[in-house]
Amino acid sequence: MWRLLIPRLFQAILVVWIVISIVFFVTRVTGDPITFLAPIDASEEELDRIRDQNGLNDPLAAQYLRCLWNAARFDMGNSFRTGQPAFDEIESRLWPTVQLAVASLAFSLVFGVSVGVLSAVKRGTSIDLFARMVALLGQAAPNFWLGIMLILLFSVQFGLLPTGGNTSRTSIVLPAITLGSASSAAIIRLTRAGMLDVLKSDFVRTARAKGLPEHLILWRHTLRHALLPVLTVLGIQIGFILSGSIVVETVFSWPGMGRLMIQSINSSDYPVVQLGVMFTAILIVTANFLVDVCYSYLDPRISSSAI
């Protein structure tokens, strides 16, 4: 297995390196960072002094190497807004984002798989129809709007759950559902299709013929096979969830990295944005790598072919 995962690890590092290079290119080469660093009415000497201080007069290659070195130490300079290192700003917001991402992934897996299984087993019934409608709507509804509608329904109308922030234990419920909605839709579709496929296969017929109870056939034999395609898209879904968290955190005023990034754009706090983009990319790449590890554990056939 390691023979396959080590190249994957290098690939992941390569991707992070390219992302950092893109961040460098977009912010240093095509834009002039001095516009963010200096006051608007700065004199020419003052501008030059600031350039010198920040190494902006060095050759581009030197700047690029320094950028890589700084990125490796997660050091992107100080936040313009607070004066604290950008890393500290991001770090304090990292945990809430991870919490929210894990909660919505858990929600979409549990909800998506169980609805998908039900839908396949009760094929053609009203349960199936309902599941397919949920899948269609979840795929088409913009998550920021869904979040606001959930607030309107559960917080404003019924007063059941908080409207935003992270003040109580139930605060995470609405954002997690909102963020997980699109992934649940995809998982419902995949689980349903996978279950229908596997239920037709020979080994399920054999299991039925030898008199195995239906719940064992479903949960132990069929689901295991039907879940492999779900696992394949899990990496992509994690990417969706982490990029969607920017939107959902804004809707629910969730104190995470995404909301910090949007606030930082509005105040041109540019080291924080850079570091936030880098961290998000690293989170996505790490999650994808972990999915690959899981996959090679669950499907023994993988170890003999490429992942």
Residues that bind other proteins (CB under 8 A): 11, 14-16, 18-19, 22-23, 26-27, 30-31, 136-137, 139-146, 148-149, 151-152, 156, 186, 190, 229, 232-233, 235-236, 239-240, 242-244, 246-247, 250-251, 261-262, 264-266, 268, 270, 273-274, 276-277, 280-281, 284-285, 288
Q: Which two tokens stand for residue 37?
A: 């660093």
Q: Which is nearer to other proteins, 105 or 242 (CB)?
A: 242
Nearest distance from C-beta of residue 215 to other proteins, angstroms:
27
Q: Which is nearer to other proteins, 56 or 148 (CB)?
A: 148
DSSP assignment of 168-224 equals: SGGGGHHHHHHHHHHHHHHHHHHHHHHHHHHHTSHHHHHHHHTT--HHHIIIIIIHH
Q: Which is nearer to other proteins, 244 or 256 (CB)?
A: 244
Nearest distance from C-beta of residue 22 to other proteins, angstroms:
7
Nearest distance from C-beta of residue 256 to other proteins, angstroms:
13
Between CA 24 and CA 29, with CA 26 as vertex, the angle to 5 degrees is: 75
**Distances, alpha carbon 197 to alpha carbons 128, 173, 193, 213, 237, in Å:** 16, 33, 6, 20, 22
Nearest distance from C-beta of residue 201 to other proteins, angstroms:
18
Nearest distance from C-beta of residue 196 to other proteins, angstroms:
13
Specify the 3-state DSSP secondary structure of 85. strand
Radius of gyration of the chain from its Cα atoms, rounded to whole angstroms: 24
Q: Which is nearer to other proteins, 19 or 223 (CB)?
A: 19
Contacts of 177 (CB under 8 A, 6+ apart): 104, 107, 150
**Short-list 28, 29, 30, 46, CA closest to 38:** 46
Nearest distance from C-beta of residue 158 to other proteins, angstroms:
13
Q: Which is nearer to other proteins, 118 or 284 (CB)?
A: 284
